[in-house]
């Protein structure tokens, strides 16, 4: 299965409603998205710690209120046709994904100053408010603290651990967690690590692969889901 990275980052601004619609229009069934909190504790879609790269603003995302964020342009940096695209709330996002029939791999984006428990609490509130389907949502994070909070606050939903490690040693640190999947950096995934992951029964996902010529190699390793910027990617 092909999962659109941050929507479908090759053809639309990342983590936007336009990106989600572009992914759906391209025939994708799942998107990978990032969420973090505003200064007034509203979960929104955004990847970076600051708004500098993907908007016309400057500063840490968590220093802006939702009202202030809505004044930023989150599309023109990518292409003029997306001018005035806004940073969406998680509520808007899940509502749109529900209407478009899109599954969501939602990364709980944690930085050094992130209040992890509060972030997951607010995400859980939105998931429950929107009644997002169990089989259409996969929560994931690099943060073990976030994963543990997800298990506590959204116990019925699947959770995945994201890693860029090449050694299987980290598997010892997560064996007590009821994880559904492991999401590996395609640049550091080795056949040995893939075998260790799949032997433990985890679903194996990779990010971010944009070279269709490498797909078969990863499929042979047991990878079942590929996160990509390119909607034309397809497993053989």
pLDDT tens digits, 99-141: 999 999 999 999 999 999 999 999 999 999 999 999 999 999 9
Does the pLDDT at position 234 exceed 60?
A: no
> What are 187's two structure tokens?
């640049």
Segment 64-76, tens digit of pLDDT: 999 999 999 999 9
b/e per residue 197-227 (b: at least 16 CB within 10 A): bbeeebbbbbbbbbeeeebeebeebebebbb
Report pLDDT for 231.
87
Report whether pLDDT(236) > 90: no
Q: Say what the pLDDT of residue 233 is.
A: 75
SS3 state of residue 61: helix
Domains and CATH numbers, the chain: 2-228 (3.20.20.190)
User: For 112-211, where are the alpha helices, taking DSSP H only?
Assistant: 116-130, 144-153, 171-174, 191-199
Is pLDDT at 189 greater than 60 in this prediction? yes
Please, which residues have CB within 8 angstroms of residue 38's CB and are 6 or more apart in sequence? Answer: 44, 61, 62, 64, 65, 66, 69
In the 8-state DSSP scheme, what is residue 89? B
């Amino acid at each position: 299965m092909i999962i659109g990275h941050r929507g479908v980052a090759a053809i639309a601004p990342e983590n936007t409603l336009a990106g989600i619609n572009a992914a759906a229009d391209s025939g994708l069934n799942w998107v990978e998205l990032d969420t973090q909190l505003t200064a007034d504790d509203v979960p929104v879609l955004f990847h970076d710690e600051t708004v500098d790269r993907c908007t016309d603003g400057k500063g840490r995302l968590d220093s802006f209120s939702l009202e202030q964020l809505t004044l930023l342009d989150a599309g023109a940096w990518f292409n003029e046709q997306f001018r005035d695209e806004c940073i969406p709330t998680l509520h808007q996002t899940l509502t749109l994904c529900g209407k478009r029939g899109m599954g969501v791999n939602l990364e709980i984006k944690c930085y050094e100053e992130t209040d992890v428990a509060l972030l997951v609490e607010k995400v859980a509130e939105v998931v429950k408010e929107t009644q997002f389907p169990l089989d259409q949502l996969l929560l994931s994070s690099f943060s073990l603290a976030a994963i543990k909070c997800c298990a506590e606050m959204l116990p019925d939903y699947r959770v995945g651990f994201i890693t860029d490690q090449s050694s299987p040693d980290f598997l010892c640190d997560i064996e007590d967690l009821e994880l559904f999947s492991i999401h590996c950096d395609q640049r550091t995934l080795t056949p040995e690590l893939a075998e260790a992951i799949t032997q433990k029964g985890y679903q194996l996902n990779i990010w971010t692969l944009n070279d269709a010529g490498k797909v078969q190699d990863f499929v042979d390793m047991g990878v079942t889901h590929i996160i990509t910027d390119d909607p034309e990617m397809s497993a053989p």
